[in-house]
Structure 1
Amino acid sequence: MSFTSEIKKEICKEEIDAQMMKAQLCALFQMRASLHMNWQGMYLSFQTENATIAKHVFQIMKTLYNVDPRLSVLKKMQLKKNNIYRIQVFDKAQEILEDLQILTDSGLRYTPSVKMVRSEKMARAYLQGCFLASGSINSPKSSNYHLEMSSQEKDLALSVQKLMQRFYLPAKVIERKSLYVVYIKAGDKIADFLRLCNASNALFEFEDSRIQRDFYNQITRLDNCEVANEVKSLKAAKSQLEAIEFLESNAKNIVIPEKIMHAMQIRKMYPEANLNELCLECKNEFGEDISKSGMKHRLAKVKQMAKDLKEDLDV
């Protein structure tokens, strides 16, 4: 079972009251349902490839409106050949749409009414319904974080975006082919959305994977930084040793101060040591206290003296 399917299964298991059922059903219908007319009149059709969602919608319809929806299972003939679960409602279709405030005197609404999402619990339930209808979240084990919900109606996508912003979820909307996609890429905000949907088990799995990955990435960055610093130190030490060798081979042509000579001797004795280690060894060898910046200055002086001497000797 995919991570998205686990989330949807967990949402469907939550016990909700009648008002939240209406908000969820409103979102599910506005996202995925279609309205049809035949010789018998108006009827609703809702399709999904998720059996748990089909059962959830079926139960809500019976609980709220005491109808007997027709459930049929179709087989896709292309790609994965998954089952498609179709729920059709022939009785009370107009009454149901009016109660959900989808059908009004002026026609069909493609966005939730203010009343439907006025309270926090109703807005949360509506977002749950949107996710059940068309939502997906990448597996937390994947290389990137991504949550999205899609709609064929731009106004509905913008309404969903606005609802998410009420809960401090900075969703964005893009157009992809014939759909308008509401999406979030920040891992912490996707975790907040799972918390909003009361998908506790999915939230724990997501956060556990996210913490592990972030910890691993941090360790990798620190390791890379440490290796880079080590390479940099070895490169600097090599150039310092080359300068020291040149000065010593031309000692008769230059006067080297005692403190600089100490730094040269310590560097020769400990060619792979860092500045802090050189300072400590200078203390042990010559009884001389020197700071890290002082040692750095002396070694820089060694390189500068070698450079100046080369120019004087025209080497």
Structure 2
Amino acid sequence: MSFALTVKEEIISHTFDDELGKSFLAGFIKYNGDFIWSSGSEKLKLSSISNKIARSIFWLCKKNFDGYIEISVSQTQTLKQNKTYQITLVGRILNFLKSLNIWDENNMKIIEFKPLKEQKNKEELTKLKRAYMAGVFVAVGSVNSPQTTNYHLELQFKEEDSGNYIAQLMNKYDFDFKVLKRNDKLFICYIKKAIMVSDFLKFIDAYQGVMNFENERIMRDVYNNVNRVNNIDISNEKKTLSAGLKQIDQISKIQANLAKKRLSDKATYLCELRIQNPNASYAELTELMNENGYDITKSGVSNLFKIIEKLSLEFKS
């Protein structure tokens, strides 16, 4: 099961009170419903590839719709052979849509959900909008698995106005939804930042989804940071070894030309330490020098190696 479907099934598993249930249905029906009205017969078809979602939508409809409801199952002939569960409402569909505040009687079409502000306080309105957006996401939403590095949550619409409406609605809550045209038939309302994806899942009450998303993201970030540190360490070790081998070569030239006596006692002892410890860092060499009675700092070790290098340049390879 995909992460997006897991999130949707978590959302639909919540218990909605009467008002929130209607708001959820409004969001789901607006973008999933197929309204059919011919010869005085009213039908509304809803569908889902999830049995759990279909059953929950059925019970929400049964609670709010006083007509006939039937469920049917069809199976595609693809390799995956996915089942599609279809819920058909027959009867007084217009009254049902009016009760959800998504029916425009003048233009005879399903419209965006607009709760009656004069009857609700700000907190109640926010709860209704959260339930509505939960329905919208279950209907047309998708979110990438947190195991991927590409954070992406989107809502797909057939009309640009719908994408703009949802973006405007959500951006009032400090989201950063953008709308783009994917092809001639789809308009995508999307966010990409990890924190935005996480906050949106919280907004629609998918808290288990948030936990899974954040856990995966944190684990991947830790893994990436460990790899980054390891790569830095390996790079530093390679640089240290390369510098050590170069210095040993310089020391060898000095010894071959019997010029070691031109170095100070400290420099001479440092030459011995370098030969014995080709991959030791300057800090480690400094510590070894001090342990053996030579008072010196790391910058002092660096200066001695510059003197050794300068002396070695006097001799041919």
Distance 1:98 1:107 in 2: 11
The answer to whether the 8 A contact 1:9-1:53 is kept is yes
The answer for the alignment partner of 1:39 in structure 2 is 39
Going from structure 1 to structure 2, the CA distance change for 1:64 and 1:30 (only over 3 Å counts) comes to same
Tell me which of 134, 139, 143 is aligned to 1:133. 139
Once the two structures are TM-superposed, the CA of residue 146 in structure 1 deviates from its matched residue by 3.0
In 2, distance between residues paired with 1:22 and 1:87?
17
What residue number does 1:61 align with? 61
- Output aligned runs, 1:101-116, within 5 Å: 101-104=101-104, 105-108=106-109, 110-113=111-114, 115=116
Moved more, 111-120 or 169-178: 111-120
Q: Quick check: 2:75–2:83 contact (8 Å CA) kept in 1?
A: yes
Of all paired residues, the percent bearing the same amino acid is 28
Structure 1 match to 2:166: 160
CA offset at residue 246 of structure 1?
Answer: 1.7
Write out per-residue CA displacement over residues 229-279 of structure 1, whole angstroms, 9 at most, x where no aligned residue.
111110111111112222232345994344433432332232221111100
Match of 2:271 among 264, 270, 289: 264
Task: Check conservation: 1:110, 1:156, Cα contact below 8 A.
Answer: no
> Which shows bigger deviation, 233-242 or 117-126?
117-126
Gaps of 5+ in 1: none
Kept in 2: contact 1:101–1:109 (CA 8 A): no
Residues 164, 301 of structure 1: alpha-carbon distance in 2 compared, 3 angstrom cutoff: farther
Residue 224 of structure 1 pairs with residue 231 of structure 2? yes
> Which blocks of at least 5 consecutive residues in structure 2 are unaligned?
none
Normalised to the residue count of structure 2, the TM-score between the two structures is: 0.86
* Alignment partners' CA distance in 1, 2:6 and 2:205: 13
| 1:171 is the counterpart of 2:182 | no
AA of the residue aligned to 2:232: C
SS of 1:69's equivalent in the other structure is strand
1:92 maps to what in 2? 92
Q: Secondary structure at the match of 1:85?
A: strand
Whole-angstrom CA distance in 1 between matches of 2:251 and 2:169: 69
User: SS at the partner of 1:174?
Assistant: strand
Q: 1:306 is matched with which residue?
A: 312
Offset of residue 79 of structure 1: 4.3
The 1-side partners of 2:160 and 2:39 are apart by 32
CA deviation vs aligned residue, 1:99-128 (integer Å, no higher than 9, x gap): 333322245355433648972111211121
**1:289 alignment partner in structure 2:** 295
Give 1:196-215 correspondences, 5 Å limit: 196-215=203-222
Compared CA separation, residues 109 and 90, structure 1 to 2 (3 A): closer
2:246 aligned to 233, 239, 251, which one?
A: 239
Name the structure 2 match of 1:70. 70
Work out the CA distance in 1 between the residues paired with 2:93 and 2:26.
Answer: 13
Contact preservation (8 Å) 2:73, 2:84? yes
Q: Is the 8 A contact 2:64 2:96 kept in 1?
A: no
Contact map agreement 2:50 2:85 (CA 8 A) in 1: yes
Distance 1:95 1:301 in 2: 94
Match of 1:49? Answer: 49
